[in-house]
Amino acid sequence: NAGVTQTPKFRILKIGQSMTLQCTQDMNHNYMYWYRQDPGMGLKLIYYSVGAGITDKGEVPNGYNVSRSTTEDFPLRLELAAPSQTSVYFCASSPQGAGGKLFFGSGTQLSVL
Amino acid sequence: DQQVKQNSPSLSVQEGRISILNCDYTNSMFDYFLWYKKYPAEGPTFLISISSIKDKNEDGRFTVFLNKSAKHLSLHIVPSQPGDSAVYFCAASALGSNYKLTFGKGTLLTVNP
């Protein structure tokens, strides 16, 4: 069972570079989320989607963009990377009506230097 | 402003004893509460949840208690096992929020053999 797959697992970016964090799920879940976790902190919601073609901002959306063209994929785009975006990024999915029971990927550790 | 607070960064218990992890919240709109467990280099995994209409939910060795008047919930693990050693996150969502979760900072539980 693949579940939620995130790539890459690790990445180092230079300030000002751009990249896309990939996330795909094979559970046919409607809801997908991107969270970031800074050291010693809880997870903070960046963007979420309730279905293909529908996305909305979370708590910390600045510096990021998302798209949801299919049910399976929910890529997160970083434009003009900054050191403040150094974090671990988690993608998650959930079926509608699951009451917050999210299925998380294993994360992408990103460093911006 | 932290809406979900886990004031104990760490907790150490002996195998076989009870582990009690605490969580406080400030947002009165929260009506669904969850605990997630996270091992190093993995994504969080859902553990147990409770709706605001209940004051207790039990699943095997794990029990979550909710005190709405005090805006406090706790997770009890009995008996604790070494494999329970992980970071535990408390999370909450508000009605109508599309289950956008607000997480606490986490508590590192260490169960000593």
What tens digit of pLDDT does each residue of B47-106 get? 999 999 999 999 999 999 999 999 999 999 999 999 999 999 999 999 877 778 999 999
Shortest alpha-carbon distance between residue B102 and chain A (Å): 7
**Nearest residue of chain B to residue A96 (CA atoms):** B98
Q: Is A63 on the interface with B (CB under 8 A)?
A: no
Q: What would the two tokens of residue B102 be?
A: 């607000």
| CB A8, CB A105: distance < 8 Å | no
| Cα separations in angstroms, B112 against A35, B34, B84 | 31, 25, 10
Find the residue in B nearest to A39 (Cα).
B105
Sign of CA dihedral B102, B9, A61, B37: negative
How many other CB atoms sit within 10 Å of the CB of residue A10?
10
Q: Which residues pair with B88 in a beta bridge?
A: B37, B107
Residue B15: how many other CB atoms lie within 10 Å: 14
Q: What local confidence, expressed as pLDDT, does residue B97 receive? A: 79
Give the total residue count for chain A. 113
CB contact under 8 A, B43 and A48: no
- Helix/strand/coil percent split, chain A, to 5: 5, 50, 45
Chain segment B12-37, per-residue pLDDT in tens: 999 999 999 999 999 999 999 999 99
Q: Taking all residues of chain A, what is their mean pLDDT, rounded to a whole number?
A: 94
Neighbours of A108 (CB within 10 A): 22
Judged by a CB distance cut-off of 8 A, whether residue A19 touches chain B is no
- For A70, the 3-state DSSP assignment is coil
How many contacts, defined by CB atoms under 8 Å, are there between A and B?
67
Please provide residue A85's backbone torsions phi and psi, each rounded to the nearest 5 degrees: -90, 5
Quick one: DSSP state of residue B21?
E
Cβ–Cβ contact A3 with B under 8 A:
no
**Chain B residues contacting A via beta carbons under 8 Å:** 4, 6, 9, 32, 34, 36, 41-46, 49, 51, 89, 91, 93, 98-106
On chain A, the residues whose CB falls within 8 A of the CB of B98 are: 31, 48, 50, 56
**How does pLDDT run across A8-60, given as a tens digit for each residue?**
999 999 999 999 999 999 999 999 999 999 988 899 999 999 999 999 999 99
Please tell me which residue of chain B has the smallest CA distance to A30: B98
| Dist CA B48 CA A42 (whole Å) | 18
**Angle in degrees, CA A27, B36, B97, rounded to 5:** 70
Q: Closest-CA residue in chain B for A51?
A: B98
Question: A46 and chain B: CB distance < 8 Å anywhere?
Answer: no
